[in-house]
Amino acid sequence: MTQTTTSGQPVATPRGTRPAGPRRATLVAGLLLGLAAGLLVALVSVGVGARQVPLDQAWAALTAYVPGDIAHEAVRSRVPRTVLGLLVGASLGLAGALMQGLTRNPIADPGILGVNAGASMFVVLGIVVLGVTSPAAQVWFAFAGAAVAAVAVYWVASLGRGGPTPVKLALAGACITAALTSVITALLIMNTRAWDTFRFWQVGSVAGRSLDIVGTVLPYLVLGMLVALASGRVLNALSLGDDLARGLGQNVGRARGLAAVGVVLLCGGATAAAGPVAFVGLTVPHVARAITGPDYRWILPYSGLLGAVLVVLADVLGRIVAHPGQLQVGIVTAFIGAPVFIALVRRRKLAEL
């Protein structure tokens, strides 16, 4: 259990102690409000598209589906992308909060541990070497690449004195990302057919994904979410520094390893299913932190909820702005996330994590 100091850093409090009642009630109410917002944007998502369906008919299509009804068929066809948007957003929000807590780096995102680059590398290899063009098959290549890259970053950062410190993790991630990006560029320059296939995955999108893809990544995302939500107390201890965390009885190496597994599961699964979606993992944890304060037991669930709402809302906006076509969700999140992140930086100094 933790409280905060006047400098904003969480400090340990006796086990079993709970936050003050009104503060806790406000945070719980905020979570319920976020859950309601998620349900609302999901309902809007299944009703918006080339054929607009009013909310009452969209709800009727979900609760009393009538085969052959055009409106109901339109709603049903949008369910997979809505479910995937919720899962991808929640996963990236949680993964961003985990990475920022794990590395104590306020600009950490899925790129810092090489996850996006690793996933992209394996997808390109699958296209170039094996001719894999099916999104369902590319999921496994992306997931394997994300896992291999994250393990490689952790292994490189573990070399030398001090083990995988936050600075060494960030440097190792940046180096491996740069190396993999160079190889990807070289492979795509030499194979234009592979580039045509790869660019549709790289932009980041939940459109055209089937429930089969959702089912493929769902177990990994759920496991990753459970690991992330159980890591709040550990991240609070790590935010005090390694020495204090050890003094509080934490096994720092094991805690970082477990959190890294959660990052791989969440980022790997989300990136594999939807491609790299920018700014969600970077921006959402800062918004959550501005609401909850520095306690990761609240930052993590808030980040998951806000990430889910942001990705589905971005997907809906992409369909409205470019109607009757659509913008990919990765483009819209970049347009939304970049100014929000700049505003956060300008309004308040980013907290040292």
> ω before 14 within 30° of 0 (cis)?
no
Number of domains in the chain: 1
**Which residues make Cβ contacts (< 8 Å) with residue 121, sequence separation at least 6?**
145, 149, 180, 183, 184
> Residue type at 297?
R
| Contact (CB, 8 A) for 153 and 176 | yes
Average pLDDT over residues 187-206: 74
CATH number reported for the structural domain that contains residue 319 in this entry: 1.10.3470.10
| Contact (CB, 8 A) for 321 and 51 | no
pTM over 0.85: no
Our measurement of the distance from residue 207's CA atom to the centroid of its chain's CA atoms, rounded to an integer in Å, reads: 17
Give the relative orientation of helices 55-63 and 70-103 as an angle to the nearest 10 degrees. 90
Domain coverage including residue 242: 68-342
The reported pLDDT for the residue numbered 222 is 93
3-state secondary structure of 10: strand
DSSP of 271-289, one letter per residue? Answer: HHHH----SHHHHHHHHHH
Is 37 inside a domain boundary?
A: no
Q: Which residue has the higher pLDDT, 6 or 222?
A: 222
Residue 104 backbone class (left: φ over 0; alpha: ψ -120 to 50; beta: rest) = left
Is 80 inside a domain boundary?
A: yes
Is 7 inside a domain boundary?
A: no
Q: Return the structure tokens found at 16.
A: 């079993």
The reported pLDDT for the residue numbered 350 is 54
Is 320 inside a domain boundary?
A: yes
What distance in Å separates the CA atoms of residue 182 and residue 196, rounded to the nearest whole number? Answer: 18
Is 166 inside a domain boundary?
A: yes
Is 325 inside a domain boundary?
A: yes
Is 34 inside a domain boundary?
A: no
Average pLDDT value over all residues in the chain: 80
Is 30 inside a domain boundary?
A: no
Tens of pLDDT, residues 116-154: 788 888 888 888 888 777 766 777 887 788 888 888 887
Tens of pLDDT, residues 27-43: 999 999 999 999 999 99
**Which residues make Cβ contacts (< 8 Å) with residue 346, sequence separation at least 6?**
none
